Structure 1
Amino acid sequence: MGDVKEMGRIDAASLGKVAVLLGGRSAEREVSLMSGQGVLAALRSKGVDAHPFDPAERPMDDLRREGFARCFIALHGRYGEDGTVQGALELLGIPYTGPGVMASSVAMDKLMTKRIWLAEGLPTPAWRQVRSPAETRAAFEVLGLPMIVKPVREGSTIGLTKVTSADQCEAAYALAAGQDPMVMCEQFIAGDEVTCPVLGTGADARALPVIRIVAPDGNYDYQNKYFTDDTQYLVPCGLPEGEEAAIQALALAAYRALDCRGWARADVMIDAVSRKPWLLEINTSPGMTGHSLVPMSARATGLSYEDLCLGVLAAASLDNTEGAQAAV
């Protein structure tokens, strides 16, 4: 993607007609609409010929019929962040922002993500996949108090419960299973909650400043993420010396292990006692709302929201470049 200082020097006209994909059909539609409108305004302010495009309301083939040269994916959750839209764009031969089909699909599946990270020797909290309230209660006996119960293929803490007693297991399972038939229980790590964006591809990928998140009562849920001003986001993060660099290195390793490109954001918990960082998940289509974290981190490097959007768009690509040439 080039150096941060180069992002504001991109020739907007060279990017062609751009579709900002927003909305979609997932449980995160409302947030995606906010992200997409922000990105759309930012790109237009930089002179990009950008247009909104909601895949829930229009067939994807309209993108080719209407001559779009590239897409900025501002979709979140299923049908936007899970490889499905990426696959459609590969078939259409239209470059798009963020990781490719496989990386997007794997990152959306928290179980597959954890299996790959463990295979690469990267730390992630213990977990159990569960298929019933009884299995959830059994996981509680193994993973301890408290425990996180969440859908495997959902984001933004939707369907997530922090279980503090065994009698909460049935309701927690039902809430998660209402979002996704695949449900997981995860060991809770008490300590600092942080996030670290990554920009770029391969050897050129780099981690941005770490953000420390201080939510009301330690509850960084859907409401506190997007719709209140009570959560504190600390940049600089104020972590002890050396910890930020270690988390940046971990985020980069997690990003590369999944073969991500373009951009993503890794979420990490730091154990309050041992100070060991633990990878929770990686977001391959990060939020771009007024409360979102990647723009906050980018600003700390001197990169504006508008230039961030322009740089991410300029890095749009395809997994299959031969397919792109054939489709033109």
Structure 2
Amino acid sequence: MTRQDKLHVVVLMGGWANERPVSLMSGEGVGKALEARGHRVTLIDMDRQVAAGIAAAAPDVVFNALHGVPGEDGTVQGMLDLMGVPYTHSGLATSVIAIDKQLTKQALLPHGVPMPGGRVVRSTELFERDPLPRPYVLKPVNEGSSVGVAIVTDAGNYGQPIRRDAVGPWQEFDELLAEPYIPGREMTVAVLDEDSGPRALAVTELKPRSGFYDFDAKYTDGMTEHVCPADIPDRIRDLCLQHALTAHRVLGCRGTSRTDFRWDESGGEDGLFVLETNTQPGMTPLSLVPEQARHCGMSYEDLVEAIIAAALRHHRERRRGDG
């Protein structure tokens, strides 16, 4: 896609996931950027009649600005595949795998991507015994944006074992992923598909003002300092970029992805771990992909158009393959 190509773009946003407010901000930002470039934009807030709304709009392409279920787990992707409508970001199979943290581990570990150990546990087990030695992390298997993450420590107030009345993700989710807690620094790398192939943009270190990089720290202005590029050794930087590219390629991500890391400096290279890969990174004013794109000399509008160009390129390639 060139700047001369004027498209009708449906921006799909909102929905009913925990991340609805973030999705609405992402969608509004994307819509304004596209209109500034002369494209026709239709904003659609995801509801149960979304297929009819998209069909009535008859867009050239859908910009998927949804976060969480059902916009990030393969549901919307399968619907758009059936409708034959081009759409941004990853496809059905990739979305199913990447939103599931345990499936992601099974996909990436054989390719040399370091990830924490751990296991999936029933929430009711936590009231009987700890699944791992403390400290450990509990997180939903298939949520994003650090929704429902809890760090369980000896000094914490959840109880030993965790009390049934303690506030935490065990009250909301039947199953949780338990992982060893990795001390140290939080970092992230965005990958962007370009004509020549995917490119890892930069490494950003995330420094929450208090606590850890949870949902509020991600999306509340002033709660987290972003250091881009991160002040880390060259070798750690190169490993972050390499692992993010590997995750993007192995999972089959499209358009853009963002891979999150923890680095325990005391362990050197062995202290670096991938936590997860996000196939639908945020596009809000505080989001990390636009920030890294700016660091690489790319405006927000250029980034949005690059993601759409990747979607149209994939759609053309897929049609040629079907033919």
**2:285 aligned residue (283, 290, 310):** 290
Unaligned runs of 5+ in 1: 1-6
Contact 1:128 1:139 in 2 (8 A): no
Aligned match of 1:163? 152
Contact 1:149 1:172 in 2 (8 A): no
**2:207 aligned residue (181, 206, 214):** 214
- Separation in 2, partners of 1:172, 1:255: 40
1:57 Cα deviation after fit: 6.2
After superposition, the C-alpha distances for 1:176-198 in whole angstroms (9 at most, x for unaligned) are 24544331111111111000000
- Separation in 1, partners of 2:171, 2:55: 35
SS at match of 1:145: coil
Aligned match of 1:113? 104
Identity of aligned residues (%): 37
SS at match of 1:111: helix
Aligned residues: 315
Contact 1:132 1:173 in 2 (8 A): no
1:136 Cα deviation after fit: 6.9
Q: What code does the residue aligned with 1:288 have?
A: M
Task: Report the CA distance shift for 1:84/1:174 in structure 2 as closer, same or farther (over 3 A).
Answer: farther
Q: Which structure exhibits the higher relative contact order, with contacts defined as CA atoms closer than 8 Å and separated by 6 or more residues?
A: 1
Whether 1:308 and 2:299 are equivalent positions in the alignment is no
1:174 Cα deviation after fit: 7.0
Task: Report the CA distance shift for 1:172/1:103 in structure 2 as closer, same or farther (over 3 A).
Answer: farther
Q: What code does the residue aligned with 2:53 have?
A: D
Contact 2:123 2:170 in 1 (8 A): no
Contact 1:12 1:47 in 2 (8 A): no
Counterparts of 1:25-36 in structure 2, within 5 Å, are 25-36=16-27
Aligned match of 1:51? 42
Contact 2:194 2:310 in 1 (8 A): no
Task: Report the CA distance shift for 1:170/1:97 in structure 2 as closer, same or farther (over 3 A).
Answer: farther
Report the TM-score when normalising by structure 2.
Answer: 0.90
- Separation in 2, partners of 1:33, 1:194: 25
Contact 1:20 1:52 in 2 (8 A): yes
- Separation in 2, partners of 1:203, 1:116: 25
Whether 1:185 and 2:178 are equivalent positions in the alignment is yes
Task: Report the CA distance shift for 1:255/1:95 in structure 2 as closer, same or farther (over 3 A).
Answer: same
Task: Report the CA distance shift for 1:194/1:172 in structure 2 as closer, same or farther (over 3 A).
Answer: farther
Q: What code does the residue aligned with 2:250 have?
A: A
Aligned match of 1:321? 318
Contact 2:130 2:161 in 1 (8 A): no
Whether 1:247 and 2:240 are equivalent positions in the alignment is yes
Task: Report the CA distance shift for 1:49/1:246 in structure 2 as closer, same or farther (over 3 A).
Answer: same
Q: What code does the residue aligned with 2:100 have?
A: D
Aligned match of 2:80? 89
1:249 Cα deviation after fit: 0.4
SS at match of 1:223: helix
